[in-house]
Amino acid sequence: MTTRFLRSLPLTTASVFVFAVLAMPLYGLWADARPAEVSFLDGTASKTNTKGEKAKLAVGNPLSEGDTLETGEASKLELRFADRSVLRLGATAKLQLTAAHFGGGEAKRKMSARLFFGNIWAKVTSIVSGDQKFQVETENAVAGVRGTTFRVDAHQDKSVLVRVYAGAVAVAKNVPLYATGKPGEARHEVAGPEEVSREKWESLVGKQMQIVIAADGTPGKPEMFAEDADKDDQWAKWNAERDEKK
């Protein structure tokens, strides 16, 4: 049907039509319906949607904005987004996709995830600039990505480690949003109260650097980490191997 349609048009019109389709970013064609999917799973993982419905995950399952993901013990989960960026969760991790918009081309790319606890590894496919957003939030900090490979470890005691392997990450204090609503009313978000006891801060963490945020939200200073810092870290080794295969 498409071929007949193109043949019925003047050559110049048909040529423009084909070029326009081929020139579209691939992720723009299916982003709205499928912003992310499970691309790898070792062990067990589940998702809970915005309606509170919980289901086990498997490779190929679609993921939507608002989904909360949890991994089991000794498990690894990889998410591939519509722009081909990758986010991986380690064992016993919990994360919510708070925003996942990829329609309308790269300028409209917005991905935000809330890490409650556990380890994640992110590999962003291209530089994030302008109106784009790719960030990971914890209770105490926000890591805003600028085209990079990095990890965020949210520990049970609320302390956080951000370690950057390529590119740069802007790490800032997180001012949380609280979902509110009465029974029968739609949930909405309002700005939460900011603790005045914490000094406002923001740090740019570059390649081969890390920053540690204490449990009370006090940031350390960005510092270099040794090249062999991950030599005994199986989580880091596995992610590095996955990155090389992409």
Task: Please compute the mean of the pLDDT values over residues 138-159 and round it to a whole number.
Answer: 89
Phi-psi region of 244 (alpha: psi -120 to 50; beta: other; left: phi over 0): alpha
CB atoms within 10 A of CB 7: 9
Domains and their CATH numbers in the chain:
1-29 (no CATH), 31-245 (2.60.120.1440)
What local confidence, expressed as pLDDT, does residue 130 receive?
57
Q: What contacts 142, CB < 8 A, 6 or more positions away?
A: 135, 136, 171, 172, 173, 174
What local confidence, expressed as pLDDT, does residue 152 receive?
95
Residue 166 has pLDDT above 50, yes or no: yes
Tokens of 31: 């982003």
3-state helix, strand, coil in the chain (%, to 5): 15, 40, 45
Task: Please compute the mean of the pLDDT values over residues 8-28 and round it to a whole number.
Answer: 34
Residue 238 has pLDDT above 90, yes or no: yes
Total-model pTM: 0.75
> Would you place residue 105 in the very low, low, confident or very high pLDDT band (cuts 50, 70, 90)?
low
What local confidence, expressed as pLDDT, does residue 134 receive?
85
For residue 190, the one-letter residue type is V
> Would you place residue 131 in the very low, low, confident or very high pLDDT band (cuts 50, 70, 90)?
low
Residue 16 has pLDDT above 60, yes or no: no
> Would you place residue 28 in the very low, low, confident or very high pLDDT band (cuts 50, 70, 90)?
very low
Q: To 5 degrees, how large is the angle CA 152–CA 111–CA 205?
A: 40
Residue 234 has pLDDT above 70, yes or no: yes
On whether the CB atoms of residues 79 and 86 are closer than 8 A, the answer is yes
Residue 11 has pLDDT above 50, yes or no: no
Strands (E), 52-159: 54-56, 62-63, 68-71, 76-81, 86-89, 94-101, 110-123, 133-137, 141-145, 149-154
What local confidence, expressed as pLDDT, does residue 2 receive?
41
Task: Please compute the mean of the pLDDT values over residues 211-225 and round it to a whole number.
Answer: 92
